[in-house]
Chains A and B, each alone.
Chain A
Amino acid sequence: MSSDRIVGIDLGTTNSLVAFMQGESPVVIPGDDGSNLVPSVVALDLNNQPVIGNAARQYLAETPERAVYSIKRLMGRGIDDVREELKFFPFRLAEDLQAGEVLRIKLGEKTFTPPEISALILRQLKRNAERFFGAQVTKAVITVPAYFNDAQRQATKDAGRIAGLEVLRLVNEPTAASLAYGLDKKQNGIVAVYDLGGGTFDVSILKLHDGIFEVIATNGDTHLGGDDIDNLLITIALHDTLGDLGLDLRRNPEAVQAIRKAVIEAKIALSSQPSVKLDVELPGGKRYLREITREQFEQLIQPIVDRTVGPCRQALKDAGLKPEQIDEAVLVGGSTRIPKVRALVKELFHREPHTDLNPDEVVALGAAVQANILGGGSEATENMLLLDVTPLSLGIEVAGGVTDKIILRNSTIPASATQHYTTQVDGQANVAIHVLQGERELAKDCRSLARFDLKGIPAMAAGMARIEVKFLIDANGILHVSAREQRSGKESEIRVQPSYGLTDEQVEGMILDSFDSAEEDFRQRQVIEARNEAATILAALDKGKKSAAWGHLTTDEKKKIAKMEKALIAVKSEDDYQAIRKAIDALNQGTTRLAELMMDSAVSTVLKGKTMDEADMGEGPTAPHPMAKAEFE
């Protein structure tokens, strides 16, 4: 039964979470550090072992070339899509990338595709859940931005497979949020969900009807979020330091990360404070100081916040609704904590938005609700059903490079369309089809999803063949294509390969890789941990020998300890972690009395240390600067 447990995962740009349905309500599963949020940061330690989450943030500050964040921005994208991003994000692409190939990011000396990096985050969440349940977890519902296209969805599904998870459903983030909200408010009406996260923006308009959550329209921007605000502030800081100090920090990843950390803290503080003081230590002992008032901040981010207006208006228009017809507005995503954003939502939908649920957690909670529904439901989710839509129109290229739309955006999924093709020349065996996603008239302005050939058409006179092609978008928003030559009844196999996707074989290979290395990873980690522990206990012993307590031991006791110490030093350099552990345990036991004797003085030292630390922390507020100009010390 426990193997059937399905978890809900929010794989976010900035943070990721895993949740499940505990009885009648969804709860977030914390990590081993007690935190509900796992920062979506992946690093490689010096032994090339992956480090994920809070632990990886340390690497971001100290060895940025071994760490990566906001990888979600690169999911399902090609090199041409991300050139703009590369100006603002310290993504280090592999040098030998070929055009049309899936991106690869360098971490230290190794390279990883975005789905592999996402898979490392997913595996961490999987581990957190497994530790929590004390049982294996193999099935999950993963959320994606509603405005994610086919390639981005496919990449997310691939990441799940690489992490050893069967992805039962991809759910759109705003829709998931509405499920979490709808759980305790079982009422009918029209709801607008405004979801501004770390890297993506979505707006969805839903009709709630006796437990059915029907999306009527959705819109968004998969490259708009809190990241953009951070980058704006970083750019200003870099400009200041260059202009005023003549210090070009753009090629100094450590300094950029220090500035990034400070501006994010400032941004967060400005949601609750009228002003904030930036204070960043720069290389060469200088300090970058800047006072930012909320007013200045709001002016600064206005253009970014305004970019959410168009999608909201379009969604209303597509839904055929006026703002006053919206019954509830719901805020999702960390960036909706910004007062300016809240004010905008109120203005757009003529409603005070709901904020009862934590905007960082609500998507994961909703994913857990959907996981529960897929698992057969419970009393809490009885009668609940999600009817979602495809965010982008699906089209095919016709003569003249024009897009012929065959499934319009905001169509309820699953949805299908059938097209008929014929041959142009006698005996023609192949017909080329170009599938597109997007709203523009011309094929070149739409996203190319796939190009494929209908192969093996039986020899016939031109125009005689009648090929029926069925396009089907499944409940995950992913396209499937099948074709049949109707005169001969010949069914042709078509695999839709997203233009920037991994092949099935590649994904398979990555799964094996991660399984193979999982065991090796585990062993190496154990050895490293055991050695660290050995070093700690040996150092403590050295300290103990110098303490007054050492004099209170008998000669026999001292002899025994020395023998065990020697044994531990001997096995420490070997690769057998079990032998190291055994020697540690022995020494631990042998030194119990020494430790007891040392206790008194140890306790007082620790307390003293703490008091001193605390005294260091509190720093009084400095006088605000009326000028926006930065200062340096």
Chain B
Amino acid sequence: MRAVHFCQACGKVQPPAPVDYFTFFGLPRKLNLDVAALEKDFYELSRKLHPDLNARAGSQEQEWSLQQSSLLNDAHRTLKDPIKRTQYLLQLEGVELEEQSKTATEQARSTGQLKKQIVPPDLLQEVFELNMQLEELRMQKKMGEDDPALIEEIGRQKLELEEKQESLLRELEYRWKMWDGMIQREQNGQPVSEEERKQERDKMVDVLNRRNYIRNLVRDVSEVLEN
């Protein structure tokens, strides 16, 4: 059931109900969602809720329109993006992704150690070599030298990493399928154990962490190449 955003009888904007983004669009907490349908719904709701179309209403309605339409935009922005959507759902499920990262950062700061980055084991060798090469290229650039072979080699590795990023997205989509299936079973009245729920969540967190790692790596490589 979609939350009630405007009066069915008179069409006037209603005060926003304190709902999560899935409920705002009347969607189940599933991850494989039809982005085109979401966009259609977003446009339709925009035509009702946007402040421009409520500019002549009373001040109370204008305020509601502002609140509703920011909620609509926030919800759409979060749900249309596969990564943000997954992160948001995990957050609703009680996983504190941000807190984890913050705690790690603070720990690293207080102990003076480098923030521990979990390198995906299958990348260990590659990442080690890539970091060496990046360091070499940084040095060369500082000296004003130019090694086309090295640049080409790093560029090739960057492409590989980007492919890896893509394949992790596929892996994430597979995890969605597992999650959605579990939710479906639950909706059909079959009990789902807390243990199973946790396992599914942890697997998604794992994929997200690995993807994050690679994304940062690609960003570093691009920075060195472009500078």
Residues of A within 8 A of B (CB): 168-169, 209-210, 212, 370, 373-376, 383, 385-387, 399-400, 411-417, 472-475
Q: How far apart sit A399 and B109, CA to CA, in the bound complex (Å)? A: 10
A169 touches B73 (CB 8 A): no
- Complex partner residue of A415 from B52, B53, B56, B73, CB under 8 angstroms: B73
Kindly name the residue among B51, B52, B55 whose own CB sees the greatest number of chain A CB atoms within 10 A.
B52
Closest to A207 in B: B39
- Complex partner residue of B51 from A370, A411, A412, A414, CB under 8 angstroms: A414
- Complex partner residue of A416 from B53, B70, B106, CB under 8 angstroms: B70
> How far does the Cβ of A598 sit from chain B's closest Cβ, in whole Å?
59
Instruction: Report whether over half of chain B's contact residues are helix, strand or loop; otherwise say mixed.
Output: helix
> How far does the Cβ of A385 sit from chain B's closest Cβ, in whole Å?
6
7 A–B pairs (Cβ distance < 8 Å), ordered by A? A168-B55, A169-B52, A386-B52, A411-B73, A414-B69, A472-B66, A475-B69
- How many A-B residue pairs lie within 8 Å, measured between CB atoms? 59
Kindly name the residue among B47, B70, B74, B106 whose own CB sees the greatest number of chain A CB atoms within 10 A.
B70
**Chain B residues within an 8 Å CB radius of A383:** 47
Kindly name the residue among A375, A415, A472, A473 whose own CB sees the greatest number of chain B CB atoms within 10 A.
A415
> How far does the Cβ of B175 sit from chain A's closest Cβ, in whole Å?
24
- Complex partner residue of A412 from B47, B52, B76, B106, CB under 8 angstroms: B76
A472 touches B70 (CB 8 A): yes
> How far does the Cβ of A496 sit from chain B's closest Cβ, in whole Å?
16
Complex interface residues of chain B between 40 and 92 (CB less than 8 A to chain A): 43, 46-47, 50-53, 55-56, 66, 69-71, 73-74, 76-77
Residues of B within 8 A of A (CB): 43, 46-47, 50-53, 55-56, 66, 69-71, 73-74, 76-77, 106, 109
**Chain A residues within an 8 Å CB radius of B56:** 374-376
A413 touches B46 (CB 8 A): no
**Chain A residues within an 8 Å CB radius of B53:** 373, 385
B73 touches A475 (CB 8 A): no
> How far does the Cβ of B159 sit from chain A's closest Cβ, in whole Å?
17
> How far does the Cβ of A376 sit from chain B's closest Cβ, in whole Å?
6
A374 touches B74 (CB 8 A): no
- Complex partner residue of A413 from B43, B73, B76, CB under 8 angstroms: B73
Q: How far apart sit A212 and B43, CA to CA, in the bound complex (Å)? A: 8
> How far does the Cβ of B13 sit from chain A's closest Cβ, in whole Å?
13
A415 touches B74 (CB 8 A): yes
Q: How far apart sit A412 and B71, CA to CA, in the bound complex (Å)? A: 11
- Complex partner residue of A385 from B47, B66, B73, B77, CB under 8 angstroms: B47
> Contacts A415-B73, A475-B66; is A385 near B51 (CB within 8 Å)?
no
> How far does the Cβ of B224 sit from chain A's closest Cβ, in whole Å?
16
Q: How far apart sit A416 and B16, CA to CA, in the bound complex (Å)? A: 13
Closest to B66 in A: A414
- Complex partner residue of B52 from A385, A400, A416, CB under 8 angstroms: A385
